[in-house]
């Protein structure tokens, strides 16, 4: 009887711990990020001193000068974004490819950072979002692969219609091998690109049925939430 009571108390305590753990981990991660930012660009760092020097003409207090310099730097991002929207993206990408990407160590780090930022930049993923997830059943009744179909256009090879599919090998951002397969091998996949990405990110732990249900859930916009 005593053992069952202790087990019940421990089970209840663990339930409360698991309920609070996501919040604790989120706060811990936020604190770590703030500490990391302070270490990298804080007032005592080289970048922080440059920001302070940038704000020095507008404020004499070192802390206030650092804040003003940070605001000036953030404000300068708007004209840069405007220039990129007006057509600077291609020459800027070419310049980075010719300089940073060719450096032995810096090039690898920049490529990794660029892949991560590509996940956040929806404009880069617009073409991927327009693709259709499909099942490719090899041989018509063999192994099935979850892939993306760029477009329904067919290519005739030896008198047989083929269609292009992209089999993902890296979900962030989506990349993979382009394969032309017979049209009769393809089956529509009842999910969106987000569902396909979640399956590849979970390495198969997320079943296709769950990804399909998630893709069907209505997306509530901020305007709808406010209203």
For 38-84, how does the pLDDT look when each residue is reduced to its tens digit (9 = 90+)? 888 887 788 888 878 877 777 777 778 878 888 887 888 778 777 76
pLDDT, position 218? 41
pTM above 0.75, yes or no: no
**Secondary structure of residue 29 in the 3-state scheme:** helix
Of 121, 178, 174, 176, which Cα lies nearest the Cα of 151?
Answer: 178
With 70 as the cut, is the pLDDT of residue 223 above it?
no
**Secondary structure of residue 80 in the 3-state scheme:** helix
Burial class for 211, CB neighbours closer than 10 Å (0-12, 13-18, 19+): buried
When pLDDT is averaged across residues 204-209 and rounded to a whole number, the result is 74
- Kindly state the percentage of the chain with pLDDT values over 70: 78
Look up tokens 């017979």; give the residue: 182
For 172-188, how does the pLDDT look when each residue is reduced to its tens digit (9 = 90+)? 555 678 889 999 999 88
């Amino acid at each position: 009887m005593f053992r069952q009571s202790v087990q019940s108390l421990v089970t209840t305590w663990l339930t409360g711990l698991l309920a609070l753990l996501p919040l604790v981990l989120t706060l811990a991660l936020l604190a770590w990020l703030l500490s990391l930012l302070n270490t990298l660009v804080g007032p005592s760092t080289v970048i922080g001193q440059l920001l302070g020097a940038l704000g020095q003409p507008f404020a004499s207090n070192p802390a206030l000068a650092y804040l003003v310099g940070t605001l000036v730097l953030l404000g300068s991002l708007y004209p840069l974004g405007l220039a990129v929207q007006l057509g600077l993206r291609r020459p800027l990408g070419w310049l980075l490819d010719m300089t940073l990407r060719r450096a032995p160590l810096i090039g690898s780090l920049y490529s990794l950072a660029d892949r991560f930022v590509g996940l956040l930049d929806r404009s880069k993923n617009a073409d991927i979002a327009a693709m259709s997830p499909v099942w490719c059943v090899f041989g018509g009744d063999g192994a099935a692969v979850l892939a993306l179909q760029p477009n329904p256009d067919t290519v005739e090879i030896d008198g047989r219609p083929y269609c292009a599919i992209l089999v993902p090998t890296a979900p962030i951002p989506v990349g993979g091998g382009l394969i032309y397969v017979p049209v009769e091998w393809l089956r529509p996949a009842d999910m969106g690109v987000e569902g396909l990405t979640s399956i590849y990110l979970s390495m198969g732990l997320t079943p296709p049925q769950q990804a399909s249900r998630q893709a069907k859930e209505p997306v509530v916009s901020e305007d709808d939430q406010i209203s």
